[in-house]
Amino acid sequence: MGKVWFVGAGPGDAELITVKGQRLLREAGAIIYAGSLVSKACTLWASEDCDIADSKGMTLDEITGWLIEKAGKHETVIRLQTGDPSLYGALIEMLQPLDAAGIESSVVPGVSSAFASMAAASESMTLPEVTQTVILTRVEGRTPMPDGESLRELAQHKTTLCLFLSITLLHKVRDELLAAGWHDDDAILVVQKASWPDEEKIVRGTIGNIREKCRAEKIASQAMIVVSPTLGARHWKTLKKSKLYDADFTHRFRKAEK
Protein backbone atom coordinates (compact mmCIF):
# COMPACT_ATOMS: atom_id res chain seq x y z
CA MET A 1 0.00 0.00 0.00
CA GLY A 2 1.27 3.46 -0.86
CA LYS A 3 1.03 6.65 1.14
CA VAL A 4 -1.21 9.63 0.45
CA TRP A 5 0.28 13.10 0.91
CA PHE A 6 -1.87 16.20 1.26
CA VAL A 7 0.42 18.85 -0.16
CA GLY A 8 -0.11 22.60 0.03
CA ALA A 9 0.58 23.91 -3.46
CA GLY A 10 0.80 27.51 -2.31
CA PRO A 11 -1.29 30.41 -3.59
CA GLY A 12 -0.73 30.07 -7.33
CA ASP A 13 2.84 30.88 -8.32
CA ALA A 14 4.41 27.46 -8.97
CA GLU A 15 7.60 28.62 -7.24
CA LEU A 16 5.74 29.11 -3.97
CA ILE A 17 5.36 25.40 -3.24
CA THR A 18 7.73 24.11 -0.55
CA VAL A 19 10.90 22.24 -1.50
CA LYS A 20 9.38 19.14 0.10
CA GLY A 21 6.14 19.52 -1.85
CA GLN A 22 8.09 19.85 -5.07
CA ARG A 23 10.13 16.71 -4.32
CA LEU A 24 6.97 14.74 -3.59
CA LEU A 25 5.38 15.91 -6.86
CA ARG A 26 8.46 14.65 -8.73
CA GLU A 27 8.24 11.27 -6.99
CA ALA A 28 4.47 10.87 -7.20
CA GLY A 29 2.87 8.07 -9.17
CA ALA A 30 -0.52 9.80 -9.03
CA ILE A 31 -1.66 13.36 -8.33
CA ILE A 32 -5.13 14.79 -7.96
CA TYR A 33 -5.33 18.56 -7.86
CA ALA A 34 -8.05 21.07 -7.04
CA GLY A 35 -9.50 22.59 -10.19
CA SER A 36 -7.57 25.10 -12.24
CA LEU A 37 -5.95 26.58 -9.14
CA VAL A 38 -2.86 24.41 -9.02
CA SER A 39 -2.54 22.78 -12.42
CA LYS A 40 0.66 24.57 -13.37
CA ALA A 41 2.56 23.31 -10.35
CA CYS A 42 1.55 19.74 -11.32
CA THR A 43 2.60 19.89 -14.91
CA LEU A 44 5.85 21.64 -14.02
CA TRP A 45 7.13 19.17 -11.47
CA ALA A 46 5.32 15.87 -12.08
CA SER A 47 7.05 13.01 -13.92
CA GLU A 48 5.95 12.22 -17.48
CA ASP A 49 4.21 8.97 -16.62
CA CYS A 50 2.44 10.37 -13.57
CA ASP A 51 -1.29 9.69 -13.40
CA ILE A 52 -2.81 13.20 -13.05
CA ALA A 53 -6.47 14.00 -12.39
CA ASP A 54 -8.43 17.20 -11.85
CA SER A 55 -10.91 17.01 -8.99
CA LYS A 56 -13.03 19.82 -10.43
CA GLY A 57 -16.50 18.33 -10.74
CA MET A 58 -15.76 15.39 -8.43
CA THR A 59 -17.52 14.79 -5.11
CA LEU A 60 -15.55 14.23 -1.92
CA ASP A 61 -16.35 10.49 -2.08
CA GLU A 62 -15.04 10.33 -5.63
CA ILE A 63 -11.82 12.09 -4.63
CA THR A 64 -11.17 9.83 -1.64
CA GLY A 65 -12.12 6.79 -3.76
CA TRP A 66 -9.55 7.90 -6.33
CA LEU A 67 -6.87 8.37 -3.64
CA ILE A 68 -7.58 4.93 -2.13
CA GLU A 69 -7.48 3.22 -5.53
CA LYS A 70 -4.20 4.90 -6.53
CA ALA A 71 -2.62 4.15 -3.15
CA GLY A 72 -3.05 0.49 -4.09
CA LYS A 73 -0.85 1.02 -7.16
CA HIS A 74 1.69 3.70 -6.30
CA GLU A 75 4.07 4.33 -3.44
CA THR A 76 3.42 8.10 -3.45
CA VAL A 77 -0.01 9.58 -4.12
CA ILE A 78 -0.70 13.31 -3.78
CA ARG A 79 -3.75 15.39 -3.11
CA LEU A 80 -2.58 18.86 -4.11
CA GLN A 81 -4.43 21.60 -2.24
CA THR A 82 -4.43 25.34 -2.78
CA GLY A 83 -2.57 27.45 -0.27
CA ASP A 84 -2.29 25.56 3.00
CA PRO A 85 -4.28 22.33 3.40
CA SER A 86 -5.48 23.23 6.89
CA LEU A 87 -7.55 26.22 5.73
CA TYR A 88 -10.95 25.57 4.13
CA GLY A 89 -9.55 22.49 2.42
CA ALA A 90 -11.91 19.68 3.51
CA LEU A 91 -8.81 17.99 4.91
CA ILE A 92 -10.46 16.08 7.74
CA GLU A 93 -13.29 14.88 5.50
CA MET A 94 -10.66 13.32 3.24
CA LEU A 95 -8.43 11.96 6.01
CA GLN A 96 -11.21 10.00 7.70
CA PRO A 97 -11.99 7.65 4.77
CA LEU A 98 -8.24 7.09 4.29
CA ASP A 99 -7.90 6.21 7.98
CA ALA A 100 -10.88 3.88 7.67
CA ALA A 101 -9.23 2.18 4.69
CA GLY A 102 -5.98 1.81 6.66
CA ILE A 103 -3.99 4.04 4.33
CA GLU A 104 -1.05 5.99 5.65
CA SER A 105 -1.17 9.74 5.11
CA SER A 106 0.71 12.96 5.91
CA VAL A 107 0.20 16.67 5.37
CA VAL A 108 2.75 19.10 3.93
CA PRO A 109 1.98 22.74 4.70
CA GLY A 110 1.77 25.45 2.06
CA VAL A 111 1.89 29.22 1.71
CA SER A 112 -1.65 30.42 2.32
CA SER A 113 -3.21 33.01 0.04
CA ALA A 114 -3.55 35.20 3.14
CA PHE A 115 0.23 35.52 3.26
CA ALA A 116 0.59 35.83 -0.50
CA SER A 117 -1.95 38.66 -0.49
CA MET A 118 -0.01 40.60 2.13
CA ALA A 119 3.20 39.99 0.20
CA ALA A 120 1.59 41.22 -3.03
CA ALA A 121 0.69 44.51 -1.37
CA SER A 122 3.89 44.78 0.73
CA GLU A 123 1.75 44.98 3.87
CA SER A 124 2.35 43.58 7.35
CA MET A 125 -0.24 41.65 9.33
CA THR A 126 1.26 42.78 12.62
CA LEU A 127 2.76 46.08 13.74
CA PRO A 128 4.10 46.97 17.20
CA GLU A 129 1.47 48.71 19.32
CA VAL A 130 -1.03 48.65 16.43
CA THR A 131 -2.06 45.02 16.30
CA GLN A 132 -0.35 41.80 17.26
CA THR A 133 -3.16 39.49 16.26
CA VAL A 134 -4.48 38.02 13.03
CA ILE A 135 -7.91 36.47 12.51
CA LEU A 136 -8.38 34.18 9.52
CA THR A 137 -12.08 33.89 8.86
CA ARG A 138 -14.93 34.33 6.37
CA VAL A 139 -18.37 35.87 6.42
CA GLU A 140 -21.39 33.68 6.61
CA GLY A 141 -22.55 32.47 3.23
CA ARG A 142 -24.05 29.06 2.62
CA THR A 143 -21.76 27.64 5.31
CA PRO A 144 -23.15 28.78 8.66
CA MET A 145 -20.74 30.40 11.15
CA PRO A 146 -20.47 28.78 14.58
CA ASP A 147 -21.72 30.79 17.59
CA GLY A 148 -19.49 33.69 18.57
CA GLU A 149 -17.73 33.80 15.19
CA SER A 150 -19.80 36.30 13.26
CA LEU A 151 -17.66 38.96 11.60
CA ARG A 152 -19.52 41.51 13.71
CA GLU A 153 -18.12 39.88 16.85
CA LEU A 154 -14.62 39.09 15.59
CA ALA A 155 -14.10 42.53 14.05
CA GLN A 156 -14.63 44.25 17.41
CA HIS A 157 -11.06 43.30 18.35
CA LYS A 158 -9.70 45.70 15.68
CA THR A 159 -7.02 43.19 14.69
CA THR A 160 -5.96 42.19 11.21
CA LEU A 161 -8.78 40.24 9.56
CA CYS A 162 -8.23 38.08 6.51
CA LEU A 163 -11.50 37.11 4.90
CA PHE A 164 -11.53 34.02 2.71
CA LEU A 165 -14.43 32.97 0.49
CA SER A 166 -16.19 36.30 0.96
CA ILE A 167 -15.60 38.39 -2.14
CA THR A 168 -19.18 38.02 -3.39
CA LEU A 169 -20.43 39.17 0.02
CA LEU A 170 -18.78 42.60 0.23
CA HIS A 171 -22.09 44.25 1.15
CA LYS A 172 -22.30 41.95 4.16
CA VAL A 173 -18.64 42.53 5.02
CA ARG A 174 -19.33 46.27 5.15
CA ASP A 175 -22.49 45.89 7.27
CA GLU A 176 -20.72 43.66 9.77
CA LEU A 177 -17.61 45.83 10.00
CA LEU A 178 -19.67 48.98 10.59
CA ALA A 179 -21.70 47.18 13.26
CA ALA A 180 -18.40 46.24 14.93
CA GLY A 181 -17.24 49.86 15.10
CA TRP A 182 -15.16 50.22 11.95
CA HIS A 183 -15.80 53.22 9.68
CA ASP A 184 -16.60 53.71 6.03
CA ASP A 185 -13.30 55.52 5.46
CA ASP A 186 -11.14 52.79 7.06
CA ALA A 187 -8.70 51.10 4.69
CA ILE A 188 -9.41 47.72 3.13
CA LEU A 189 -7.42 45.62 0.69
CA VAL A 190 -8.56 43.10 -1.89
CA VAL A 191 -6.10 40.88 -3.74
CA GLN A 192 -7.29 38.63 -6.52
CA LYS A 193 -5.14 35.70 -7.61
CA ALA A 194 -2.31 36.72 -5.33
CA SER A 195 1.07 35.55 -6.72
CA TRP A 196 -0.38 34.38 -10.06
CA PRO A 197 2.02 35.59 -12.75
CA ASP A 198 0.30 38.26 -14.90
CA GLU A 199 -3.11 37.73 -13.25
CA GLU A 200 -2.74 39.22 -9.81
CA LYS A 201 -4.92 42.26 -9.08
CA ILE A 202 -4.50 44.52 -6.05
CA VAL A 203 -7.34 46.84 -5.14
CA ARG A 204 -7.00 49.31 -2.29
CA GLY A 205 -10.03 51.14 -1.06
CA THR A 206 -12.15 51.97 1.94
CA ILE A 207 -14.83 49.91 3.62
CA GLY A 208 -17.31 52.30 1.99
CA ASN A 209 -16.07 52.12 -1.61
CA ILE A 210 -14.41 48.72 -2.03
CA ARG A 211 -17.47 47.03 -3.47
CA GLU A 212 -17.71 49.60 -6.25
CA LYS A 213 -13.97 49.33 -6.95
CA CYS A 214 -14.07 45.53 -7.14
CA ARG A 215 -17.05 45.66 -9.46
CA ALA A 216 -15.15 48.06 -11.73
CA GLU A 217 -12.19 45.63 -11.73
CA LYS A 218 -14.55 42.67 -12.34
CA ILE A 219 -13.33 40.87 -9.23
CA ALA A 220 -15.86 38.24 -8.16
CA SER A 221 -13.78 35.18 -7.24
CA GLN A 222 -10.39 33.96 -5.96
CA ALA A 223 -9.85 37.05 -3.88
CA MET A 224 -8.68 37.77 -0.35
CA ILE A 225 -10.16 40.65 1.65
CA VAL A 226 -7.92 42.17 4.31
CA VAL A 227 -9.11 44.67 6.88
CA SER A 228 -6.41 45.89 9.21
CA PRO A 229 -5.28 48.92 11.21
CA THR A 230 -1.84 48.24 9.67
CA LEU A 231 -2.83 48.89 6.05
CA GLY A 232 -0.79 51.62 4.41
CA ALA A 233 1.71 51.76 7.31
CA ARG A 234 4.56 51.90 4.82
CA HIS A 235 3.66 55.57 4.30
CA TRP A 236 3.15 56.54 7.92
CA LYS A 237 5.44 59.28 9.26
CA THR A 238 5.48 57.94 12.83
CA LEU A 239 5.92 54.30 13.52
CA LYS A 240 6.58 52.39 16.71
CA LYS A 241 9.64 50.29 15.93
CA SER A 242 9.82 46.61 16.73
CA LYS A 243 11.56 46.11 20.08
CA LEU A 244 13.63 43.35 18.55
CA TYR A 245 15.71 45.82 16.54
CA ASP A 246 15.55 48.70 19.03
CA ALA A 247 19.04 49.82 20.12
CA ASP A 248 17.79 50.29 23.71
CA PHE A 249 16.35 46.81 23.99
CA THR A 250 18.32 43.86 25.32
CA HIS A 251 17.36 40.36 24.30
CA ARG A 252 18.87 36.90 24.08
CA PHE A 253 21.06 37.68 21.07
CA ARG A 254 22.02 41.33 21.62
CA LYS A 255 22.81 43.73 24.47
CA ALA A 256 21.30 47.22 24.46
CA GLU A 257 23.67 50.03 23.45
CA LYS A 258 22.54 52.29 26.31
Among residues 55, 82, 159, 230, the one that binds ligand SAH under rule CB under 6 A: 82
Among residues 223, 226, 227, 231, the one that binds ligand SAH under rule CB under 6 A: 223
Among residues 22, 222, 228, 230, the one that binds ligand SAH under rule CB under 6 A: 222
Give yes or no for residue 14 binding ligand SAH (CB under 6 A): no
Give yes or no for residue 21 binding ligand SAH (CB under 6 A): no
Shortest Å, Cβ 11 to ligand SAH: 4
Give yes or no for residue 11 binding ligand SAH (CB under 6 A): yes
Shortest Å, Cβ 56 to ligand SAH: 14
Residue nearest to ligand SAH (CB): 83
3 state SS for the chain: CCEEEEEECECCCHHHCCHHHHHHHHHCCEEEECHHHHHHHHHHHCCCCCEEEECCCCCHHHHHHHHHHHHCCCCEEEEEECECCCCCCCHHHHHHHHHHCCCEEEEECCCCHHHHHHHHCCCCCCECCCECCEEEEECCCCCCCCCCCCHHHHHHHCCEEEEECCHHHHHHHHHHHHHCCCCCCCEEEEEECCCCCCCCEEEEEECCCHHHHHHHCCCCCCEEEEECCCCCHHHCCCCCCCHHHCCCCCECCECCCC
Q: How many residues bind ligand SAH (CB under 6 A)?
A: 23
Stretch that binds ligand SAH, among 44-52, 143-151, 172-180, 187-195 (CB under 6 A): 187-195
List interacting residues with ligand SAH (CB under 6 A): 11-12, 82-84, 87-89, 112-113, 116-117, 164-165, 191-196, 222-224
